[in-house]
Structure 1
């Protein structure tokens, strides 16, 4: 289903392998790794982000999310947006990846879930206010 969604700010899924272990997803090659790698890596020769590039990345992420939420034929909530799930191509264009926790917005399903979701160790600050 995710491979059918195409947008400049969503990573393209080319295929998968579901036989045996480990299970594999085949994405397009992203030359500059993840946003987390660029921001937090301490390796020599690390990329540095100037403010125009940071702005471009933020706007690209917002465009990708707007597409998922409003413009695509399938309305998708990503649920796990974080720097490791933002990949950067050779021109530093951001692409949203890892739809493992994504939810479809089904109009006929009116139940609202209040369950906490996301990667352990990463949580939106408002959850800490509600569940502490």
Structure 2
């Protein structure tokens, strides 16, 4: 599975590397977004994207840099989804999921639990023992 992913990623990298020099420039990245996605990316956005993942500082993405970019963009998307889910359970404005807020959300989803049941559920993933789930604890629980 991993080798298939790497070979698919290599194919995408090779496609983006228009001049075949083994590196993706901001201009190549910008041009590909326009061609493939139909959207637009400014020169500044393309340069910032390359800069954020450029491990050796040459202003270009080699394959290792490109892998980092792909992993990072996937993680950001996952974190955004997790933040939305966390917000649904965190209804008391405390910045964490409490037994009461968990009970309330589960009831809305048709799964009636007691506050004690919710305390037990939270306790399994409550890494610092404060009786509630922070976003980081929630994120770990969801992975």
* Category of TM-score, reference length = shorter chain: under 0.3
Higher fraction of helix = 2
Higher fraction of strand = 1
The TM-score normalised by the length of structure 2 is 0.21
